[in-house]
A = this chain, B = another copy of it.
């Protein structure tokens, strides 16, 4: 296994220890509940924002905690929803009179865990609202599945809500921001390899040397189709078309465009994809007001990327531009 791990059973607490050690000024941690929080939250005048999911998607979510981003986050085992108690303790750790917005990516396990935690917290009188993120266009909605998955678009929900909360917006307003972002953001990914969970030690799905999974999920779930690998421009076109055709992105619209690496793809290749995506957006008359190229929501060490596009209005553009800080730093 080509990985930096000790006992796979300790993988989550160990990398959390690293995150906490590297951000001692910013974050408090509670390893009993795989939880981190901003040192300066809760604050009586600020809505708190929390999210948590399975591990393996770093920087989502514990590295997304900080001023202008999440107030607290917790992690489950790799690719498994956090235990209910971890969710509950995370809410409690930043509960405030201004209320808590609980962001949940749309997966059965995450939803059930956060539902229970929210019920427990509400039973104790904690004021909160829950919001479900589902930006992945790969999986079509249907009456008998849990619906579209929440993937990298989730970054924009955290960023915009984080900025609104930081500015003192109330719970209903921050919730409305989440709704607006989710209504206007779409993502699709592609996986060129499977990822390898540390505890399993090998690939979670088989894929040929010349194959890719179009629409792959961030846990390696199958997407729309298994296809032969194509040139970067052609793959980018597929991702862009899937995203663009899912919403009425109109000529003249201002957008934020993200190319998100899934963990095993290096920076130069993400920029090859960005170059083509930016050209396609320009061809469609879209104005790229902000762009993001890097790792925002990974699938362990999967080679692949996703393309996310968020339609902006003045409010969202302002929220994305607001300063923020989290465990991911360059300098």
> Quick check: A274 and B22 within 8 Å, CB to CB?
yes
Segment at the B interface, from A114-122, A133-141, A244-252, A289-297:
A289-297
Measured between C-beta atoms, what is the minimum distance from A16 to chain B in Å? 8
Q: How large is the interface on A (under 10, 10 to 19, 20 to 34, 35 or more residues)?
A: 35 or more
Q: In the complex the two chains form, what is the Cα distance from A275 to B6 in whole Å?
A: 12
Instruction: Say whether A300 faces chain B, with CB atoms less than 8 Å apart.
Output: yes
Residues of B contacting A328 in the complex (Cβ-Cβ under 8 angstroms) = 267, 294, 330
> Quick check: A330 and B294 within 8 Å, CB to CB?
yes
Residues of B contacting A77 in the complex (Cβ-Cβ under 8 angstroms) = none
> Quick check: B266 and A298 within 8 Å, CB to CB?
yes
Copy tally for this chain in the complex stands at: 2
> Quick check: A21 and B266 within 8 Å, CB to CB?
no
Which residue of the partner chain B has the closest CB to A275? B18
> Quick check: B267 and A63 within 8 Å, CB to CB?
yes
> Quick check: B294 and A14 within 8 Å, CB to CB?
no
Segment at the B interface, from A143-151, A164-172, A226-234:
A226-234
Measured between C-beta atoms, what is the minimum distance from A215 to chain B in Å? 16
> Quick check: B235 and A272 within 8 Å, CB to CB?
no
Contacts A/B (CB < 8 Å), 22 sampled: A2-B303, A3-B232, A3-B265, A4-B232, A4-B270, A6-B272, A11-B272, A15-B269, A18-B273, A18-B274, A18-B278, A19-B271, A21-B274, A22-B278, A22-B293, A263-B266, A264-B264, A264-B266, A264-B301, A267-B295, A267-B298, A267-B328
| Shortest 3 CB-CB contacts between residues of A and residues of B | A18-B271, A18-B275, A263-B266
